[in-house]
Structure 1
């Protein structure tokens, strides 16, 4: 009974299992799209790359566009006290949409059927609602001093699950029998894990429904959604700007990277794809350790964000010139702290608003990423297709440039925060 009571207070099992399932799905979809592209065309490698990138462009744009209104509605209900709702409803969408890949493999449906997956998932709030709900729940249960590390710890669970899932996914994809086609085992396990998450979230996890967080230590002169201090509003705008630019650079570069490794000279198999995805998940672990070390060194949140951005700039620029698998993993190793910026930006934002607005603040940030990506996804895709013969790694240089631009607003926030803290210390004395 004591174990059950403990489990009822934690959502880490949901985050862990859902991310393992997501890793299985990502690898499975990547390999199915590659296989169908190879069998449906007798043309050149460039035509196959165009087919794959066009599929993912449409798929990713649906992921980003469809959830906008449902996610806002769920965030509103979450801030009204129903903290469980923005997590449970997207898990329903995950379960139903991920089952489509299983049917595509089993029944040999056209791969275009998978366009329905982001639509179904998006109508249930999508990842935007799910992750914003998780972050809101973590924020209302921690004080400001512990929040950055607590949010980073949740990211660690997410990343460690992705690492393990990605390592196993390539091997599981290749398991098949006379009756079961390649990929059925992988997709089947993914669907079962989502079903477990759904059942666990509905029947095991217990979440209180406070309209105001009792743990949130608000300054006595704060009221409304935003603190009544012009510097706070300015900081919010700067944090949103920096976060959007960084997300554009990361999502655009990583989306193309998943296609880049399928072509020559890398030309990865399912196993190598799994290892590559696992390498991407290692940064969750190294970023968490980085936050712990930097916190002990008393570095500010803004300083940690800039370290993470510089880490991503160096890794992505090196990725421009990758021609072997060894070089790929070396480039990935340079991005050890690349995950630090986003959770730390969320932590800084939560310190600018009241607890009753966490859900809406996080969902607006998440949706701003999605809206920006509606333009950048086709932009990255078309640039990659145009430079495929001459300079296929150019998109990674582009990601480096955009990341460098995202350093500007966060450095301003760092300066403003330092001045504000200095002023408060003087005033307090």
Structure 2
């Protein structure tokens, strides 16, 4: 069978399987705890939510207690897998620099299958929910979303050597991520309604199996193992696994280290501003004066996927005539315009139209990934994307807690405050990118840095 150098299907299948299972998992935990609390089963009927709204009713208090227990249980599941997942991301993605990229793609897919299989078993056999802690730890040690994200970007960096092609391929991966999340969010509700919880878990399980088969039999490896490589279980092999990110910065020139550091700072700060505000869209739309119903929220999520498509097209065309830094600045300006508009949106039409100025808002992250990838050597791509993926995961976790706290404190007097805060914070990465642009960050600097490293190695 002829093998292909197409990693995009891996990202698309994994993202859809993961994102379609998240709402199913969250609702299953809630329904199981409701069943334990009231000894009754919630049913679906014409998409109507059966919840108590009368605060004086004792059922309202019990309902809130179930929500609290479900939230705490889900948080514990996430936390016990977070640290193993981050450690394995650093190891597996860096491991790919010398031993191949497939491990960082295959193991997280197996972990995703184990997670879904555990929920399926708990649902079918009515096992205690505590069984899920074991599967969460096990899947964490096989890597997670950060691992497969770093693996996919490293794979693209291996095969896309041309500067413009690298921008486009990395932006396309981001578009696949966004579109998959949007489609899966819309379809998950229909899947639960049509199949129920027990059979719903089979769909992501089948997708993970297809992904595993694709990675093993169809996806071509980009890194050819050297005849002088160190076995993973040897002393030198283990040392190599843990030293990738450290050596990335240790062996770099001062200018290269400073450039990577500033780009990482800009990347994480923009992610902090972007992800936190996007995470609040649903709460903001549910609240007055918008008061959206689930249908409108679903359509809003669907329209948001066009931001990823528009950003990909923006990268595709802007790359032909603009430097990377200018593309990043255009994307950040797009984000500020859209999020400021959202802060003052009071009608459904206005909130829907917010997606228009946000059309290029997804450009900065893939382009900054590409910028950093162009600076480092070929055998440092995995270490770089492992570092980015771990920082991205940690930033996402901190962002949710920070923005939710701010929103809770300001929702009474001005619900849009968090959006204005996000726009203000976005000025910081704009300043950093502008500094890099003004002080000589150009494409020829990438080539110069790589040549300097190569000549140093040859001289030694």
What is the TM-score normalised by the length of structure 2? 0.75
Aligned counterpart in structure 1 of residue 14 of structure 2, from 10, 15, 18: 18
| Structure 1 match to 2:279 | 255
Flag the 1:255–1:163 CA change in 2: closer, same or farther, 3 A: closer
Write the distance in 2 (CA, Å) between the matches of 1:169 and 1:290: 30
Q: Which runs of no fewer than 5 residues in structure 2 stay unpaired?
A: 35-50, 53-57, 227-246, 449-460
Larger mean CA deviation between 121-130 and 37-46 belongs to: 37-46
Deviation per CA, 1:202-243: give whole Å up to 9, x if none: 23323143369xxxxxxxxxxx84686533222111101001
| Structure 2 match to 1:346 | 369
| Deviation, structure 1 residue 417 | 3.5
SS in 2 for 1:42: helix
Contact 1:249-1:400 at 8 Å conserved across structures: yes
| Deviation, structure 1 residue 367 | 1.2
| Deviation, structure 1 residue 55 | 7.0
SS in 2 for 1:20: helix
| Structure 2 match to 1:92 | 110
Contact 1:316-1:396 at 8 Å conserved across structures: yes
Flag the 1:186–1:256 CA change in 2: closer, same or farther, 3 A: farther
Q: Report whether the alignment pairs 1:369 with 2:392.
A: yes
Q: Report whether the alignment pairs 1:195 with 2:209.
A: yes
Aligned counterpart in structure 2 of residue 210 of structure 1, from 218, 224, 237: 224
Write the distance in 1 (CA, Å) between the matches of 2:90 and 2:253: 26
> Residues 215-226 of structure 1 correspond to what in structure 2 (within 5 A)?
225=248
| Structure 2 match to 1:130 | 148
Larger mean CA deviation between 253-262 and 141-150 belongs to: 253-262
Deviation per CA, 1:121-174: give whole Å up to 9, x if none: 432221111111111111011214221112122333333434443443333333
| Structure 2 match to 1:266 | 291
| Deviation, structure 1 residue 374 | 4.3
> Residues 15-414 of structure 1 correspond to what in structure 2 (within 5 A)?
15-29=11-25, 38=51, 42-43=60-61, 64-102=82-120, 119-145=137-163, 146-176=165-195, 181=196, 183-210=197-224, 225=248, 229-261=253-285, 265-269=290-294, 271-296=295-320, 298-414=321-437
Write the distance in 1 (CA, Å) between the matches of 2:266 and 2:79: 22
Write the distance in 1 (CA, Å) between the matches of 2:25 and 2:351: 22
Contact 2:146-2:390 at 8 Å conserved across structures: yes
Write the distance in 2 (CA, Å) between the matches of 1:185 and 1:327: 39
SS in 1 for 2:280: helix
Write the distance in 1 (CA, Å) between the matches of 2:138 and 2:447: 49
- Bigger Rg over Cα: 2
Larger mean CA deviation between 68-77 and 115-124 belongs to: 115-124
Deviation per CA, 1:38-96: give whole Å up to 9, x if none: 57960499999988876776666566544221111112321122210111111111122
Deviation per CA, 1:91-128: give whole Å up to 9, x if none: 11112223455456667788888777764443222111
Contact 2:182-2:305 at 8 Å conserved across structures: yes
Contact 1:317-1:396 at 8 Å conserved across structures: yes
Write the distance in 2 (CA, Å) between the matches of 1:167 and 1:49: 22
Q: Which runs of no fewer than 5 residues in structure 1 stay unpaired?
A: 213-223
SS in 2 for 1:175: helix
Flag the 1:243–1:385 CA change in 2: closer, same or farther, 3 A: same
SS in 1 for 2:319: helix
Contact 1:98-1:117 at 8 Å conserved across structures: no
Give me the CA root mean square deviation. Answer: 3.7
What is the TM-score normalised by the length of structure 1? 0.80
SS in 2 for 1:143: coil
| Deviation, structure 1 residue 358 | 0.5
Contact 1:49-1:263 at 8 Å conserved across structures: no
Write the distance in 1 (CA, Å) between the matches of 2:72 and 2:291: 20
Write the distance in 1 (CA, Å) between the matches of 2:125 and 2:276: 32
| Deviation, structure 1 residue 372 | 3.5
Flag the 1:390–1:143 CA change in 2: closer, same or farther, 3 A: same
| Deviation, structure 1 residue 28 | 3.0
Flag the 1:102–1:399 CA change in 2: closer, same or farther, 3 A: farther
Contact 1:144-1:351 at 8 Å conserved across structures: no
Write the distance in 2 (CA, Å) between the matches of 1:417 and 1:248: 26
Write the distance in 1 (CA, Å) between the matches of 2:367 and 2:292: 36
Deviation per CA, 1:175-199: give whole Å up to 9, x if none: 24xxxx3x55543312221221122
Larger mean CA deviation between 298-307 and 166-175 belongs to: 166-175
Write the distance in 2 (CA, Å) between the matches of 1:333 and 1:33: 36
| Deviation, structure 1 residue 309 | 1.4
Contact 2:159-2:222 at 8 Å conserved across structures: no
